[in-house]
Structure 1
Amino acid sequence: MGTIKLKNIRTFSYHGCLVEEGKIGSDYTTDLEIKTDLRKSSLSDKLEDTVDYVLLNRIVVEEMAIRSHLLEHVAHRIVARIFKEIPAVSRIMLSVSKINPPIGGDVEAVTIEMEEYRN
């Protein structure tokens, strides 16, 4: 087994329960870690023998572009899509952070984390 990590994927998205959040948007960061078998690609040196992190990044960016009220919902969509499109992934650790959330206090970010295993 092995691990592929994408750290601090930055997007500007429109998630949130407030109407204003859907209009003005916010900055977000996403961290993604997947477990997969890296033995074949470590020997072959071929992209088709591993999980392409360009595809992982594209999935995150595309799903972050679809408005959700809750970070949990967008995170679930990211996880479900990775499992659907990339059979080699056996486990996903994902965190999604809203930078400077409008919660009436001086808070740098609010973050949700999910860990899911392929059934």
Structure 2
Amino acid sequence: MSQFKQTVALKDVKCFARHGYYPEEQLIGNQFVIDLETEFIPWGFDDELAQTVNYEDLNTIIQDEMKNTQKLLETVLNNIISRVIKLYPFVETVKVSVKKLNPPMPGQVGHSLVRLSYQSSK
């Protein structure tokens, strides 16, 4: 039997935040770019927001968690995923990545990247 799978995502969400392991990173801050993607089996297609993931909610989660300074980007991503699956328990997959633009290290580094994925066991 065929089945639809739906993706709702936000790409290239730009934020200024103060995440970083070193105190100077938390003091100075940096620019970050976040991608967040959800996948699930849709309940139907009758034009109701309640039957999907609202990407405005996804943006709110991203913005909130980026304001909450953490040492590790892994912690930020875990917090984002936890909030998404709490708000939308029907999602099967959540993928989130964050790029830190111009990380403070020697040489010319365009960005660092951390990615975390969740897969439902349902």
**Pairwise TM-score range, normalised by the shorter structure:** over 0.9
Structure-1-length-normalised TM-score: 0.92
- Residues 7-32 of structure 1, C-alpha deviation per residue, up to 9 Å, x if partnerless? 00111000001111111110000001
Partner of 1:112: 114
Structure 1: runs of 5+ lacking an equivalent = none
| Structure 2 Cα separation of the partners of residues 50 and 32 of structure 1 | 15
| Structure 2 Cα separation of the partners of residues 104 and 75 of structure 1 | 26
Structure 2: runs of 5+ lacking an equivalent = none
| Structure 1 Cα separation of the partners of residues 20 and 34 of structure 2 | 16
Indicate the RMSD between aligned Cα atoms, in angstroms. Answer: 1.1
| Structure 2 Cα separation of the partners of residues 79 and 105 of structure 1 | 32
Q: Give how far 1:93 is off.
A: 1.0
Which of the residues 25, 33, 40 maps onto 1:36? 40
| Structure 1 Cα separation of the partners of residues 15 and 106 of structure 2 | 23
Counting matched residue pairs gives 117
The reply on whether 1:91 has 2:93 as its aligned counterpart is: yes
| Structure 2 Cα separation of the partners of residues 99 and 11 of structure 1 | 10
Q: Which has the higher helix share?
A: 1
SS of residue matched to 1:103: coil
Structure-2-length-normalised TM-score: 0.90
Partner of 2:8: 4
| Structure 2 Cα separation of the partners of residues 90 and 79 of structure 1 | 12
| Structure 2 Cα separation of the partners of residues 64 and 34 of structure 1 | 19
| Structure 2 Cα separation of the partners of residues 106 and 50 of structure 1 | 41
* AA of the residue aligned to 1:33: E
